[in-house]
Structure formats: structure tokens, C-alpha cells
A and B are shown apart, each in its own frame.
Chain A
Amino acid sequence: MVTEELSARQLRDRIAAGQITSVEAAEAVFKRIEELEPVIGAYISTYHDRALETAADVDRRLIAGEPVGRLAGVPVAVKDNMCTTFGATTCASKILENFHAPYNATVVEKLLAADAVIVGKTNMDEFAMGSSTENSGLKQTVNPWDTTRVPGGSSGGSAAAVAARLCFAALGSDTGGSIRQPAGFCGVVGLKPTYGRVSRFGLVAYGSSLDQIGPVTRTVADSALMMNVIAGHDPADSTSVDEAAAPVCDYLEKLNEPLKKLKIAIVPEFGAGADEQVQKAMTEAIDVYKKLGAQIVEIDMPHLDYAIAAYYIIATAEASSNLARYDGVHYGHRSEKATDYVEVYSKSRAEAFGKEVKRRIMLGTYALSSGYYDAYYLKALKVRNLIRGDFTSAFEKCDCIMMPVSPTVAFKIGEKIDDPLQMYLSDIYTIAANLAGVPGISVPCGFDQNNLPIGLQILAPAFAEDKLLAIARMFEKETDWHTKMPAIIT
């Protein structure tokens, strides 16, 4: 039977063993979507018929004894900023509301090759700009743990879908915390791999030097399973790393290798701004590791305080350029009021971009303008290098760094929407990993007094995803936070 306790890996194994059919799994998911999606709003589009066809094909091949992929029959969701040849790829923006991509993103190709059943495309902050999914130009997603609260963002749809069991695993993208923070808010696992570990080809760019695709899952093992499918060099992405230099390994196989003499670093100065309950959960999480024999070292990372400032210059600068192509000329929304080509640009963009996207385009354009470039963009790059240096020296003293995912638990819908600076600050702990390019994971580590999930963030050296997942798994084995389910589904 397809139960809500099942993880993606367990489901896969049972399908492979013939205990559950792939069609049963897909039907169970669509039944739940029918019941809960009107409340949760995790999906921009769902593909019932297509998913059932894929599932039936997997079942047929299993019966015929034909080989199947690593995710055979597992219903998964894809954030709507990854291109698919089926359905639209909207980035939750009105400007791409009816955009149908002529090609599949590399990660989508990989999911299809692994025989995953793609259930739908998930909601997000428009062009992945935001921390609450409230910036979606198309719909509202709520937190399954409390439907008056945000699911986090920008991969809020993916996190909510996984938490509400509207799929077994999902892909998100993380530019400044957009996988880890919503995973934390929704009580699921979110992994941002090392920059260059997963191909970005087909991921609609926000901040190209920061964007990275990663899994949102119920368990650490499921993240490892997803990584086994999506990681690796892609000749179509020059920034994806050569596997000769940084080999991809079997992340599942290495998962249960406990790390002896584990050295965990904490950054006391930096974590201090978090809410009391978040801090308490952190301390308890660290204690779990202590009991497992880990050694805790306190380190200083002096430049982390400047991460948000540097991020909002680099990311917006890149975004201002990346989003220039949405001009109404070649595809996407075109204003009907334009009378010449300059108006095609200005009116199409004015009509279809949301407020936050416009804000970031303006910020980035300003930062790159002549006369300001050195003071903003160039300086931000310098800060970025200093932050990279902070991580390099930190990892000389430890195996991983732990800190909260976010200073608060999921906040109320509307609470921060009119205060962009407050919203930006909710990424304070996650942004540095993107600037440094290192991998980070968010794992459930407790609840506050309102039964809202709290996430523990673990950061590891570049390309040490195997180690990072194993460290996260050590915690998961000792705790049962990941087994808790939002009331809405039970």
C-alpha cells in the first residue's frame, strides 16, 4: 500500500519488488493532490495523464523483466523554472505564463532517463526571487504545517509538495537559500549541491554564478538517491565540473558510513541573531552529535556579516542581465499597447514582471552602471572572495559547519511582503554557501511551540556531498523529526 510514511527510496524498492505498482503510486499521489492541492497550492501545473502513462510503462517493463532506472515509478515534482517540453515553464511569472520550452533541462532528461514519474511543476517566487513564494505571479502556496504561513521560498512549491505528500521527492533550485530555507520551513530535507555539481542547463537563470539545482525530499537517503540521478558533468554547461577533477560517487552507498572523529564547527557570533526557539533546537541538535562522539569547535568567519550585501549586488546584477531577454519580441508576454519596438520592451516588461523582480532588475542595473560598477559590483566580488576564504580556512579546522537554516520558523503570509529588507534577512544563514559555492543541507531538527518545523543547516567543503549526506544521516538516525507529518495529511 502507498502510505504517507513511505520514502521515495522505499517506494522505489517496493515497486521494483512488485509489492506496489507504479500506477498505484501515481494514483495515490494524484488522489492526494485532488484533496489537498486546492488548499496547499504547491503546483503550477500537473500532468495526470502523462504521469499515468509513464507509470504504466514502468509497470509493463518491470513485468517484462526489462531494465528500469533508479527512480522507476517514483512520483516526483519539478520546480517550474526547469524547462520541460511538456506543459509550460513559467517561472511563476506572467511574462512566461504561456511559454512552452522546446527542450528539456538536463536534470529533467536525467529524471526521465531514471524512469521517474513527473507529477507536475511546482510554484515558486517569480524567477526564484524571494523567500516565501509570495512573489509568485501565478498563485499562492501555503505551508502544510500551518496554512496561514508561508512555505518559504523560492522553492516553496517543491517543499510544500514534499511535506504534504503531493509527490515523493522534488527538485528545487537554490541561489541564496531557495532549497534549504523552504525545506526548513516545511520540515523536509533540502540539499544545495556544490556549484557545478549539477547541470544548470535548462534551469531558467536568476543569478548564474549562484544558482544550483538540488533535491527536496523527505529523508536524507532520498536526497542521496536524487543526487545519484542528477549529479554529474554536462557538456552543455561549461560551469558544471569535470568529473575527472571531482568524481561523482554513489551517494546512497556512502550514506551509512558514520564519520569517526567528526569535527563540527559552529560560528557563535553569527548564529546569535536567531530566535530563541531556533537556537534551542540548534543546541539540542549539536548535543546529538556530541553524544555520537563529535568534537565541536568554535570558529570565526569574519566576513559572513557582509554576505547579504554582497549577494544582493551579485545576484541582482546577474539577474538584470539574465532577465533582459524577456522583452516581448521573441517569446513570452507582449504588450498589446506597444506602438513601437521600444514600447514592446518597456510595456511588455512593465505589465508582466512582478514588483520584486522589477526591484531586483533595477538594483542590478544600478550596480553595473558605469561609475558605480567599482563601488558595488567589484566590491561585492571582493567580499565574495573573502567569504570563500573564510570557508577555506574554516574547513581546515573542521569537517562541517552547522548553523540554523533560517533565523525564524515559517512566518505569516503577508508578514514581510511589504518589507523587502526583512525578507532579505531571512536568508542570512543560507546565502554564504552560494557565494562560496559549497554544498549545504537542511534537515528537520525540531519544532517551535506552535508546532512549526525548525531546520538544521550543515555546510561542507566543495564536492563533499557524500560526507555531507552521511553527516546528516547520522543525525536523522538518532532523531525522529523527519517522521513527523503535518496534521493536514493525517
Chain B
Amino acid sequence: MSELQHKVIVGLEIHVQLCTKSKMFCGCAAEFGAEPNSRVCPVCLGMPGVLPVMNKQAFEYAVLVGLALNCRIAAFTKWDRKSYYYPDLPKNYQISQYDLPLSTNGYIEIPLESGRTKKVRITRAHLEEDAGKNLHTAGDFSQVDLNRTGTPLLEIVTEPDMSSGAEVRALAAELQRMVRFLGVSEADMQKGHMRFEPNINLVITKDGRQYKTPIVEIKNLNSFRALERSVDYEEQRQLDEFLETGEVMEMGNKTTRGWDDEREVTVLQREKEEAHDYRYFPEPDLVPVELTDAWLEEIRGRLCELPIKKQIRFVEQYKLSDYDAGVLTADRSTAEFFDEVVKAGGDPKRACNWVTQDGLRLAKERGCRVDELGISPQQVAELTNMIVMGDVSATAATAISDIMVTSPDLSARRIAEEHNLIQKSDADELEAIVDQVIAANPNAVEDVTSGGKKSKKARGFLLGQVMQKTRGQANPKVVSEILAKKLG
């Protein structure tokens, strides 16, 4: 039997819809879910005689992403027309960027399952306008909804640097987190804000020789799951196909496949890559954009610490687990709130627990962000320190948090005091109570001291009795210590 190894190679093309107020080249609202053809004007409808005017905000958002992707930002960038006929494209050309995209040669750092990170090179990122949607729901006719026509899209192209479905998914998720952090896209998959097109092939080593399988492009994936599964599926399919046919990559044998979400298979769409001729040429209706140093610096000033950097810092600086740091950095406001709590003197581990548990729970209940609860980072910091000091129990802290939301002016300590939630940690006071309990429960004491099977349970019983006598305010840790001292 011959020796055979293979490696899957994946590059991604990603379209990210930018969340500008208006469309890329006209004043129409860029909204999702409106009545079909209600967010349109002569410009995005491609009426005779109209002219596009560039949305400056979209351009700045695109530059911001370019900077976050460590790209070279072009000082001079222009627009081109990409021609193709389709009913959802009213001008029958798309305004895009061809040979002078606004950003090139960058990279994105993505987290791997091992806890390490990997750099994936970014070939380019450029701006373009989105097309409308063809709806095939009206029997014999197709209908066209042009609300989406002209919304700003950022097309990001990576180098083929990924080597598993999991890595591709990690990149997609990292990019989603990044654009959300930057506030340039809602990146909502269900609304089609992010769409993926992976290019996949295998490098197969067989009998000391290398073979590359033909490249397959999978069109229009709009969930992380479909993205990962389709890559995994392709890996196996291409391997099987190679073993059967031995076909290798050559000019013109790239194919296009679609993803069947129900059957979880890829389906052939175009046999051979058609000789696409988009007849690109410079868009004469728009002037090139010159990005001055001052303008670029102004945009750079809007960059924030990127999520992956924050995540790594949280692990290193605050000794959080990678998982916890990941939960905190899923969203910018949460991560920043956590950072503020720690800066206000809060205990990092307790602060993380509070944010990811009480904080996110309350935020979810109220349909807001953690920083919008009305609870200040200072209050949370105080609360975490009270937990560390043993002044309140974890259960009490939750109760305090619930009260804090409705009484934002009160400090954590004041709430704890007013509601009798301060934990009794005074050893002398507790010792007296422990003595009473020991005296009243000789059987249990017997079980503990005999050290038999029942010992653990009996110890718990005695602890419970102390807690009951103190109406839950005793610090269980202190009580346990006293019990241990007295009963061994």
C-alpha cells in the first residue's frame, strides 16, 4: 500500500456589510427588513442620468478595518466598474475597486484551539456596493427587492493560509468580533451582514510526489457552521475524488460549488470556471480618493484595542482562563466594563465572575449592555472585594447585584448592610454558636469524630445548623475551620 498524506489549503473571500446610516453612493437608509423597494431612490435604482456620491463614513469604516487588519492603506485609491448583467443589479455594473484597493498586504491574528494564535495574511480589502435580492416566491415570476442595492460592502480576501475547517471558522469568528469591536458592522449572520466564500484544495503527498487538487470555490455561506462543515466536507470529497480520478489543479479547472445545508454536502454549480470578463474600467463618475496623512491619523485615532489582544492580555495580566477571557471579549462593551472594574481596584477573577454571570444575566434580562445597567465599575469593584474579604457570600453578592440595578446610587456595602447580607466572619462570635450546635447534636458529632462513612455528611449537617442559627450570614469557610479545629 502506498504512503499518502494530505493537507487542506483554504483561502477566504469575505463580504462584510458596513453599518453606515446611508448607502454607499446615495442618501437612502441602509436598513434591513423594510418593505421591499421602500429604501430606494433614483441613484440606487440606477435611473438614467444619476450619479453616485461617495459615503465618507463607509470609506472611513473601511480604512479602520484595513488598519485593524494591519494592512497598507493606499494614499490614493479609485473606483472601478465591474460589469455583469443580473436583475438585482440595476446598472448592470457594480461600483467596486479593482487595481487600486484601499488596503493591501495585512494579516489577522486568529486564536487556535491549542490556545496559541496564528497569523493569516490578508491580500486586500476593498469597498464596493451590494446588489439587491432576487426573490423567487411569486410562482412563474421572480421579483426583485432593491432595498439592499448600494449598501456598503467591504470585501476582504485572505491568502490561502488556513488548513482546517476549524481554522476557517476561527478566522470568521475573529473577524466578526473585530468588526463589532470597531463598531463598523453589526456582523449579524442571519441578516447576511457577513458572507463567506472559501477557496479550497488539497496538497497530497503520494509516493514522495506532491499533487494539488483542483480549486473549489463554495459560494455564499452565511453561517460559521456551514463554513466549517463545508470545508471539512470538501476536504474528504476532494481526497476521494483524487483517489478516484487523479485529477490535479490546472488552468481553468476551478469549479464552483454550493452548500446544501440540509444534506450537509457541497453541490456542483459551475463545471468549469467560466471565462468571466467583468470589463473593469475606472468609474468616471467618481473622483479618486486621496487619503491625506492627517485624515489617516484621525481615523487611526478611532482604533481600539482589538479583541484578540484584549483576550491575550486578560489571560496574561489577570490570570484568567482563556475561556473566560474569550467570553469577556466577545463584545467590546463587556470587555471594557470588565477592564474598568479591575482598574477601579476590583479583584480580576471575581470581577470576571461578576461580569460573565450577574452582569450578563442582568443585561440579558433588561435587553441592554453590561455598561448600561446603571451599575458603575466602582460598585462592582467594591462588591468583588467584599467577596474576597469574606464580607459577603457569592449568593449574597447576586442578591446585592439585583438590588444595585434598581438602586444605582447605593454602594455595595450599604446595600449589604441594609439587607443584612454581611457575612459573619468573626471567629469568636461564631465559635460560641458552633459550641452551641456541637452541644445540641451529639450524634452528628459522634459521626464526625468516628471518621466513618457518615463523617462528611455529618460535618455538612453541623455546618448547616450553624448557618441556620446565623440566618445564613455566617462565613461558611470560617465555620468549617472552627469545626475542624474542634472536631479534628
Interface residues of A (CB under 8 A from B): 81-83, 89, 91, 96, 99, 101-103, 105, 200-205, 207-209, 235-239, 317-318, 320-321, 324-327, 329-331, 341-342, 345, 365, 368-370, 373, 377
Contacts and interface: CB of A to CB of B under 8 A. Distances in A.
A369 B279 contact: yes
B3 interface: no
B51 A201 contact: yes
A370 B277 contact: yes
B48 A321 contact: no
Nearest to A91: B48
B92 interface: yes
B48 A99 contact: yes
Contacts of A203: 49
Given A82-B49, A321-B279, A325-B46, 11 more contacts: A89-B48, A103-B42, A202-B50, A318-B281, A324-B92, A324-B93, A325-B48, A329-B87, A341-B142, A342-B85, A365-B279
B54 A370 contact: no
Interface in B205-232: none
B345 interface: no
A327 B284 contact: no
B51 A324 contact: no
B140 to A, nearest CB: 11
B284 A102 contact: no
A321 B53 contact: no
A105 B49 contact: yes
Contacts of A318: 281, 284
A370 B51 contact: no
B85 A370 contact: no
Contacts of A207: 284
Contacts of A370: 277, 279
A325 B91 contact: yes
Contacts of B277: 369-370
Contact of A341 (B83, B87, B91): B87
**Would you call the interface of chain B mostly helix, strand, loop, or mixed?**
loop
A238 B87 contact: no
Contacts of B394: none
17 contacts: A83-B47, A89-B48, A99-B48, A101-B42, A103-B47, A202-B50, A204-B49, A208-B284, A238-B52, A238-B54, A239-B51, A239-B286, A330-B144, A341-B87, A341-B142, A342-B85, A377-B281
Interface string B113-136: 000000000000000000000000
Given A238-B51, A373-B281, A324 B83 contact: yes
B281 A96 contact: no
B214 to A, nearest CB: 22
A77 B455 CA distance: 106
A83 B50 CA distance: 9
B136 to A, nearest CB: 11
Contacts of B48: 83, 89, 91, 96, 99, 101, 204-205, 325-326
A324 B91 contact: yes
B303 interface: no
B8 interface: no
Nearest to B283: A208
B53 A236 contact: yes
Contacts of B281: 317-318, 321, 368, 373, 377
